[in-house]
Structure 1
Amino acid sequence: METPGRRERKKAATRQALADAALKLFLERGYDQVSIRDIAEEADVSTTTLFKHFPGKEALVFDQDQDREALFIAVVRQRREGQSVVDALREHVLDGWLKLADHPQMAEYTDLVNSTPALQTYGERMWTRHTAALSAAIAEDAGVAPDNISCQALARFVLDIPALTRGRPEPRKAVEEIFDLLTHGWRMP
């Protein structure tokens, strides 16, 4: 893997500073009380610079959107030889989602998204796009049509795991139960 050059590092740092500033302000004041100009000022950049990194205010809340989608696709395409798609996705969710779920700001972040209609709508569109991309990668791997319903269902269920397990007393156990269902089918509890 190639180390990013200075320019790429600076761009990534600016992007992260913008996302961090936006989240800080949104949590302090509320989403609707914060302007693009407020965010740019907090990050010490121009609004033009902000728009070079993010298409709009909602995207600042979901700043790792593209990275997450690419990572899910890579999990399918670059899994270990002999590892099933479901097992690779299980490993990825257990390693990634559970760390995010333990983040000290996760409850505040979730409340922000759930209490802001514009963010809910944006998030739903984002997850729909992720579902389509992940489903296409699974279908390609399986050698079936991109609109295969089983691939779409698997992608949808996997991407819904964070919402299904959020707030559970034992999130790891909940994630394992869902993947056991996906692997072995329905069994009476």
Structure 2
Amino acid sequence: MRDRPAGQDVLDAIEAHLLADRLVHDPVDPQFREFTAMIAATPALREYARRMLDRHEEALAEVIASEQPGSSLRARAVARFVLGGLDLARHEPDRRAAFREIVRLLREGWGSTGH
């Protein structure tokens, strides 16, 4: 995120980085597909995977706060929503589309999504 191209905002950088992550890609490798299906089907493993994402929340919030002056609450909220969105998206049939929708919701807000 810190080395993002000039003019790219923080949320765009986070989205691009996480869309490149293999957790957001539909698994092509049969073993990885089985592995992710096992995690999705096992509540304890899903919770563990979520806790692993939570460990990165504070670090991401610190980077966001350093890049976007303002409230630390705002930076922590964006970090939590993005990483929570990643967790939600990886259990959807089209992970990339789901994550993009979540980032759009975060960027534009609930009221602008037509709901």
* Amino acid aligned to 1:161: G
Query: Is the contact between residue 135 and residue 152 of structure 1 (CA under 8 Å) also seen in structure 2?
Result: yes
Structure 1 CA distance for aligned equivalents of residues 80 and 9 of structure 2 = 17
Contact 1:86 1:182 in 2 (8 A): no
Distance 1:138 1:125 in 2: 20
In structure 2, what is the Cα distance between the partners aligned to 1:80 and 1:121? 35
Determine if the alignment matches structure 1 residue 161 to structure 2 residue 88.
no
Alignment partner of 1:141 is 2:99:
no
The residue type equivalent to 1:80 in the other structure is P
In the alignment of these two chains, the number of paired residues is: 110
Residue in 2 aligned with 1:41?
none
**Change in CA separation of 1:168 and 1:126 when aligned onto 2, cut-off 3 Å:** closer
Which of the numbers 120, 127, 150 marks the counterpart of 2:74?
Answer: 150
RMSD between aligned residues: 2.6
1:120 to partner: Cα distance? 5.6
Counting only pairs closer than 5 Å after superposition, residues 19-30 of structure 1 correspond to structure 2 as none
2:99 counterpart residue number = 175
Q: Is the contact between residue 161 and residue 175 of structure 1 (CA under 8 Å) also seen in structure 2?
A: yes
* 1:49 corresponds to: none
SS at match of 1:169: coil
1:114/1:168 CA distance change after superposition, 3 Å: closer
Question: Given residue 181 of structure 1, which amino acid in structure 2 is its aligned partner?
Answer: L
Q: TM-score, normalised by structure 2?
A: 0.74
Q: 1: CA distance between counterparts of 2:40 and 2:91?
A: 15
2-structure distance, mates of 1:124, 1:171: 16
Q: Take 1:116 and 1:169, find their aligned partners in 2: how far apart are those partners?
A: 18
Distance 1:169 1:114 in 2: 14
User: Cα deviations across residues 46-97 of structure 1 (Å, max 9, x unaligned)?
Assistant: xxxxxxxxxxxxxxxxxxxxxxxxxxxxx2x111111100111111122224
Report the counterpart of residue 115 of structure 1 in structure 2.
42
Q: Percent identity?
A: 35
Structure 1, unmatched stretches of 5+, are 1-74
Question: Matched residues in 1 for 2:48 and 2:92: separation?
Answer: 25
| Equivalent residue number for residue 18 of structure 2 | 93
Q: TM-score, normalised by structure 1?
A: 0.49
Deviation at 1:155, TM superposition (A): 0.8
